[in-house]
Amino acid sequence: MENGSGARRVYSVSELNRHSRELLETAFPSVWVEGEISNFSAPSSGHWYFTLKDEQGQLRCAMFRNRNARTRLRPRHGERLLVRGTVSLYTARGEYQMIVEEIEAAGAGALQRALEALRERLAAEGLFAPAHKRALPRFPQHLGVVTSATGAALHDILTVLRRRYPSLVVSVFPVAVQGEGAAAQIAAAIASANRWAATLDPPLDVLIVGRGGGSLEDLWAFNEEIVARAIHASTLPVISAVGHETDFTIADLVADVRAPTPSAAAELLAPDRTQLLRALAATRQRLLQLARRELDARTQRLDWLARRLRHPGARLRDQAQRLDDLELRLRAAITRRLTHTQARLAHAQGTLAAHSPERRLDARHRELGQLGKRLASSMRHLLAAREARFANLAHVLGSVSPLATLARGYAIVSDTAGHVLRDAHEVTPGQRVRARIAHASLECTVDAVQESV
């Protein structure tokens, strides 16, 4: 290469490789590449080296120990993978390669994105909230297991239960745990277990929902929304036991308890019979010690009471003597009380006699008789005076009475209506009039009216 002045620009091999690496890393800072694995190697350094190829080309890849320790997927020859990393150049050999940061099975990326979207949506609805988590029964009586009837998960669960808790009744709700329709079967089995729980003997009181390990696609039924909502709607506590310890599903987040494996779910649920017997023996020993201690204390108290206890005959004699003493004291008290009461009664009688109202009543009777006589005399005098006054007034009234005038020969003339006629102009010849004289009334007819001169 020549510069503008015609001088050549000569690169060393390492310099050119370094510049090439810088260009590659700048142009491809982070890319996803899909291909088939070949020539995989994992030396003692812990780094992974492999080739990613397709029908028309291949790409050397390196995944260093600090990165591959974070993934649970170990590449295998012939397996299709999806890798993310930076494109670089191994300057020591001038080889074009990819430095891998992340690795996953081909096709898992879309599933992973769908899984994250569903997880965020269900979390926003509160399906993962701790407030919805129910406690497992301390000593369950009847366990329901929703899993494949032929899978290793059921065998592991039953093996643990036979060893730790053989008295636990187990009902299996067989379902498909992967493939088309598996999620619907799992959800229906959970609903069925809740529906029939109370009718079973003993009643169903807890569920294990799970399966053995597998790829993300194998476990996908336990990431379905229908399964998550069935677990959330369950009135029975649910233990999710899906895959291995590193596997994590939506069912694990919704369930009341997440177990890393089906065996761990059985161990979590079933109390260890050996530990229970050991605890029971320890409790029995403590109860025996407490019983002995209490018995010793009661025996000591009984001895103390026995020493204080006297013969009943002696107590009866003492009580009889005390009763006689009380009787004498009672008689003396009654006599004193009676004497005192009689003295008070005699004093009260003397006081009553001194203030007797009998003499006062006699004096009042005599005074009342005198007042009665005075009243009668006064009434007679008053009546005589009133009679005299009445006679005088009657005489005066008789002297001015119209009847007295009539007795002297006068008459009172009135028309037939009773109106007294005082003037000649008030009558006409032929008119009927009434004339009242002493002791009689006269019916008259006016023949003529003559006025006095």
- In a 13 Å sphere around the CA of 418, the CA atoms on its Cβ side amount to 0
Residue 92: helix, strand or coil by DSSP? coil
- The CATH number of the structural domain formed by 13-106 is 2.40.50.140
Query: How many Å apart are CA 70 and CA 46, to the nearest integer?
Result: 12
- Tell me the angle at which helices 225-233 and 182-196 cross, rounded to the nearest 10 degrees: 10
- In a 13 Å sphere around the CA of 228, the CA atoms on its Cβ side amount to 22
Strand residue runs (E) in 300-449: 412-415, 432-437, 440-445
Residue 37: helix, strand or coil by DSSP? strand
- The CATH number of the structural domain formed by 134-270 is 3.40.50.261
For 8, which DSSP code?
Answer: B
Residue 305: helix, strand or coil by DSSP? helix
**pTM for this predicted structure:** 0.45
Concatenating the DSSP letter of every residue in 221-283 gives GGGSHHHHHHHHH-SS-EEEEESSTT---HHHHHSSEE-SSHHHHHHHHSPPHHHHHHHHHHH
Taking every pair of Cα atoms in the chain, the longest distance, rounded to a whole number of angstroms, is: 196
pLDDT string in tens for the chain (453-residue length): 555 555 787 877 778 778 777 787 777 778 888 888 889 999 998 899 999 998 888 989 999 998 888 887 788 887 888 888 888 888 788 788 888 988 877 765 556 677 788 888 988 989 889 988 999 998 899 999 999 999 889 999 999 999 888 889 999 999 999 888 999 999 999 999 999 999 999 999 999 999 988 877 788 899 999 999 999 999 999 999 998 877 788 899 999 999 989 999 999 888 777 777 888 888 888 999 999 899 988 888 888 887 777 667 767 777 878 888 888 899 999 999 999 999 999 888 888 777 777 777 888 888 888 998 888 888 989 998 898 888 888 877 777 777 777 777 788 888 888 888 888 778 888 889 888 887 888 889 888 887 765
Strand residue runs (E) in 91-159: 95-105, 142-147
> Tell me: the pLDDT tens digits for 209-245?
999 888 777 888 999 999 999 999 999 999 999 988 7
Q: CA 278 → CA 200, 266, 267, 269, 291, distances in Å?
A: 31, 20, 17, 18, 20
